[in-house]
Chain A
């Protein structure tokens, strides 16, 4: 059973803080993704990674960075949190071996005040 875990379910940070969101998957998937989900806007891709140390920008990368030092772990970094980054953040993984079906973590509800 694929398992994707995220470091926090709820997080409250202040404007300007550096924020780390961590995601771990246990299925040896080569692809990992970070999305944010906002009402009426659906899921929007922030960054993805198709291999260790490889990363590519998604549709809304501004204000974010990522790190993938190990295959199972993909971190999202908010360099200087702003109120417009208040959102639900979802991590996902997929593999060519499982027909690119995406498996999601439980999400992190981030509030920036």
Chain B
């Protein structure tokens, strides 16, 4: 069964304190791993798509990386405005062309 697990559930950082969020997945034949940011009371906002092990994508203070079993979202020198829940999702052949398996997210709080 396809599965996505995110850790930690919650993370508190001081402003400027870099860290990483983890997304572990079990999917046979990954067809895409997606990262989203979700602010309270709002819909998720698309950040990155990764397809193959070794791939990396960057956007401002965020960098996503992918291995065969997990993805990391690295946050460099975070600011309070980076506080949000970060969601990871995967697509795979057993979940179907149109379905995505989501993790439950990591709630990030960055303190000034």
Contact = CB atoms under 8 A, between A and B. Distances in A.
Task: Say what secondary structure dominates the interface of chain A.
Answer: strand
A6 to B, nearest CB: 8
Interface in A74-109: 90, 92, 94, 99-107, 109
A99 B55 CA distance: 16
A107 B87 contact: no
B34 A101 contact: yes
Given A40-B104, A102-B34, A90 B99 contact: no
A12 interface: no
B41 interface: yes
Interface stretch (B16-24, B44-52, B64-72, B76-84): B44-52
Given A42-B103, A42-B105, A48-B98, A99 B32 contact: yes
Interface string B28-45: 000110101000011111
Nearest to A88: B41
